[in-house]
Amino acid sequence: MSFWSDKKILVTGGAGFLGSHVVDMLKEKGAADITVPRSGSCDLRVRENCRNAVKDKDLVIHMAVKGGGIGFNLAYPGEIFFDNIMMGTQLMEEARLAGVDKFVAIGTVCCYPKFTPVPFEEDNLWNGYPEETNAPYGLAKKMMLVQSQAYRKQYGFNSIFLLPTNLYGPRDDFDPESSHVIPALVRKVVDAKEGGKDQITVWGTGNVTREFLYVEDAARGIILASEKYNSSEPVNLGSGIEISIKDLVLFIAEIAGFDGEIRWDTNKPDGQPRRCLDVSKSKLEFGFEAKTNFKDGLRETIRWYRNTVFEI
């Protein structure tokens, strides 16, 4: 039998960007009993809803999140902190009380300190304060790691904590109010191309670097960890490839066929100076490696956005 075939699984955030890909892969692997709560009818900030959601479940994958790009994080730091910490803390506690066999907590690269040595190693997770624009989000998510380790020590509760880097791919959030860097840039470049504009303006200097992981690779990593990893020590999920935002914009413009001017608004924040993960632990512990070529992933993301928005 498949590991998943007899499991009753709760996937919070399962209708979202990453979550929908995880749910699709679970079904491909034989999972037949998957529950995906929706925020409209199951607000996980309310403890009773968490209690009801985990009832009779064997495994919980917690991906529900309140967050976005730099602009969103600057505008709503209080909501981001409160919503994420309440969802994670209460859901894990109710899972423990309900006797759930395993809890998979999905954290974020934003948990890392602002000036973490590159590549980011899991041992450096506590050596400083996160970058200010995303600290409320990163710290709220980081508390699930503390909770996981405390619950394993006191209760023997099996939970794991994964740290995915910046994600991208089809079904991402392309709303300019809440999107992360790649969907925001894809929308800006493609809209300019389709609208016949001859210039775009991008936030920051373009000198900062990021690492990106294709969403299908991230989903596969989460499923592998769910099957094979049983420790509360944190594990990075990434591609291990670092790229500057300037080069990223040029890649997107090239693929989208945009040859207009790119202007940089240096009055806007850059965010964390560098971001790239050490991904050796995920390979060692559960055999995960990113497989998607970055430009191929960008092509798929741009194709999906064009087909969805412009119906090409």
CA triplet 289, 292, 295: central angle to 5 degrees?
A: 140
Specify whether the backbone of 289 is left (phi greater than 0), alpha (psi in -120 to 50) or beta.
Answer: beta
Whether the Cβ atoms of residue 91 and residue 44 lie closer than 8 Å to each other: yes
Report DSSP letters for the chain, one per residue: --TTTT-EEEEETTTSHHHHHHHHHHHHTT--EEE---TTT--TTSHHHHHHHHTT-SEEEE------SHHHHHH-HHHHHHHHHHHHHHHHHHHHHHT-SEEEEE--GGGSBTTPPSSB-GGGTTSSPBPGGGHHHHHHHHHHHHHHHHHHHHH---EEEEEE-EEE-TT----TTT--HHHHHHHHHHHHHHTT-SEEEEES-S--EEEEEEHHHHHHHHHHHHHH---SS-EEE----EEEHHHHHHHHHHHHT--SEEEEETTS---SS---B--HHHHHHH-----S-HHHHHHHHHHHHIIIII--
Catalytic residue (choose from 76, 112, 137, 305): 137
The answer for residues whose C-beta is within 8 angstroms of residue 177's C-beta and 6 or more apart is 68, 71, 72
Q: State yes or no: is 137 an active-site residue.
A: yes
**Catalytic residue positions?**
137
